[in-house]
Structure 1
Amino acid sequence: MRFELRDITRRFGDNVAVNAVSLDIPQGEMVGVIGRSGAGKSTLLRMINRLVQPSSGSIHFGDAEVSSLRGRALRDWQRDCAMIFQQFNLVPRLDVLTNVLLGRLNHRPTTLSILNYFTREERIMAIAALERLGIEQTALQPAGTLSGGQQQRVAIARALMQEPKMVLADEPIASLDPLNAKIVMDALRDINVREGITVITNLHTLDTARTYCDRIIGMAQGSVVFDGRPEALTADIVRQIYGANADGSGIDEGMTSTSIEISRPKATAARQVAGFRPLAAADA
């Protein structure tokens, strides 16, 4: 199913955060949204997930007008459109497994959610998701004891538990070191390729967008100023998106690089039975 934005605008008082953005995204694309801080990237993703209501315009997914959904239909959309945040949004005192299981809340009756009851099948599904991300050994640890890179992988596992049709990632690697940034981006790309799920991610780093994304959308002052393949992102367009340094030079794309080679072990027998392969060996 195609996803479409039609003249989406969001105003905060006199400030126009997103200005008449129109996009048509086929199912299964991995899209990177780049731009300076304040360009409107996060507001755009939050409107797609309906955490922020558009001031005008409409959002469509298949035959549904997402921007008009209310009540249960809206909750179903937020289940189908999983959101991954820069700050992880885990419950630190709960163990990792429970945090991952919370991704099932919109799939189950309210009574079971209140009782915090999860089925054996759901627990197996959660362990499989953690194995897929290479962090199954942390399942019984409080989420707050993990490193930033591990916590972001827990957040991705929780998103997988939603069985989404689309994944939105709002600056998922902004607070991570290059090694963990690569692990997280590998995970998102793997989800995109293996499940055919559309992934839209906001990114600060140009080399990451070029490496992982099929399509790059550049935003400046709330508007889309570039929409195309990575190879079409020229130095002139980069300057249009980011401006120039004080000396007039261009942006250094390697300032925070994810281009690090990581060796990965073969899948364990348990993972092979579950039908998953590990994405990374590092638990940093």
Structure 2
Amino acid sequence: MLKIENVTRRFGKFTAIDDVSLEIPQGQMVGIIGRSGAGKSTLLRMINRLVDPSEGAILFEGTNVAQLKGAALRNWQRDCAMIFQQFNLVPRLDVLTNVLLGRLNHRSTIKSLLGMFSREERAMAIAALERLDIAKTALQRAGTLSGGQQQRVAIARALMQNPKVVLADEPIASLDPRNAQVVMESLRDINEREGLTVITNLHTLDTARHFCQRIIGMQGGKVVFDGGPDDLTELAARRIYGADGMKDAFSEAITSTSISRGTPKPISELEAVLAAR
């Protein structure tokens, strides 16, 4: 169980996260939605401890990770893998080495920098790439790959950490709908096969409703919605996005995983209301 208790984060006079409390059971796939500036990324970065909370506690298996330092903090960041919108790969290194860097917190840093990875670790990395259907790129420089391929490499690297929680900060924001769908399917597969908790920030409603068991909506640093896909009514969407942000909630320009496949799929009541405007 991951517990976020009365967490607040201030940057000077600006409050990015305002007294947020959540309980996320092990093995749940959670989508956090909201407009830009709602606090989604700050919340994930606090969970991973890339940003420290100003107030409150973040508990995992009874440990307040907000107070960890040194080796204990590094171990938490190993157990709580982070996937970024910008991929954060080393472009000049080959794909296989980028994936192997996910073992940094499991071994000597000097050995890792010298490329002294074991045969077993290399086999693990190839298996992760095969699982994500990009093993053929193993010896290519990461910088030569498409955005969708690079994000899958980043997911493979996260798997190499043997994490207990996977955080994905806007993982499809820079991808086209086809690659966005592949990346979201990969995250869902990790959640279902490994039973890992996956928490991902998303912009569009259709992606969150299709892939996530639970949706958390944020507005102005506060949680304004917490429920299942079927609970996300028009009223709830308006609380999250505001009246002037409703069209963006379904916009593929922001990046959605909706892909036309010949016969149009039925749209929900909420989508029908928006389409009529």
Task: Give the aligned partner of residue 273 of structure 1.
Answer: none
For residues 120 and 229 of structure 1, do their structure 2 counterparts lie closer, same or farther at Cα, with a shift above 3 Å needed? same
- Superposed, 1:1-284 pairs within 5 Å as 2-245=1-244, 253=250, 255=252, 256-260=255-259
Q: Percent sequence identity over matched residues?
A: 71
Counterpart-to-counterpart distance in 2, 1:11 and 1:158: 31
Counterpart-to-counterpart distance in 2, 1:44 and 1:218: 12
Q: What's the offset of the Cα at 1:188?
A: 0.1
TM-score by length of 1: 0.88
RMSD between superposed Cα atoms in Å: 1.4
Counterpart secondary structure, 2:250? coil
Q: How many residues align?
A: 259
Q: What's the offset of the Cα at 1:261?
A: 8.2
> Which sits farther off after the overlay, 111-120 or 205-214?
111-120
Q: What's the offset of the Cα at 1:205?
A: 1.0
Counterpart-to-counterpart distance in 2, 1:96 and 1:261: 31
Q: What's the offset of the Cα at 1:5?
A: 0.2
Counterpart-to-counterpart distance in 2, 1:111 and 1:258: 41
8 Å CA contact retained: 2:204, 2:249: no
Counterpart-to-counterpart distance in 1, 2:186 and 2:148: 12
Amino acid at match of 2:220: Q
8 Å CA contact retained: 1:238, 1:251: no
Q: What's the offset of the Cα at 1:9?
A: 0.4
Q: What's the offset of the Cα at 1:258?
A: 1.2
The superposition leaves residues 157-191 of structure 1 with CA deviations (integer Å, 9 ceiling, x where unpaired) of 00000000000000000000000000000000000
TM-score by length of 2: 0.91
Q: What's the offset of the Cα at 1:64?
A: 1.1
Counterpart-to-counterpart distance in 2, 1:82 and 1:142: 23
The superposition leaves residues 25-81 of structure 1 with CA deviations (integer Å, 9 ceiling, x where unpaired) of 000000000000000000000000000000000000012111110000000000000
8 Å CA contact retained: 1:29, 1:199: yes
Counterpart-to-counterpart distance in 1, 2:30 and 2:132: 21
Counterpart-to-counterpart distance in 2, 1:237 and 1:73: 39
Counterpart-to-counterpart distance in 1, 2:147 and 2:247: 31
8 Å CA contact retained: 1:239, 1:250: no
Counterpart-to-counterpart distance in 1, 2:131 and 2:73: 29
8 Å CA contact retained: 2:7, 2:56: yes
Counterpart-to-counterpart distance in 1, 2:218 and 2:93: 37
Q: Which runs of 4 or more aligned residues in structure 1 lie more than 2 Å from their structure 2 counterparts after TM superposition?
A: 113-116, 249-257, 259-262
Structure 2: segments with no counterpart, 5+ residues: 262-277
Structure 1: segments with no counterpart, 5+ residues: 263-284
Amino acid at match of 2:235: D
Counterpart secondary structure, 2:157? helix
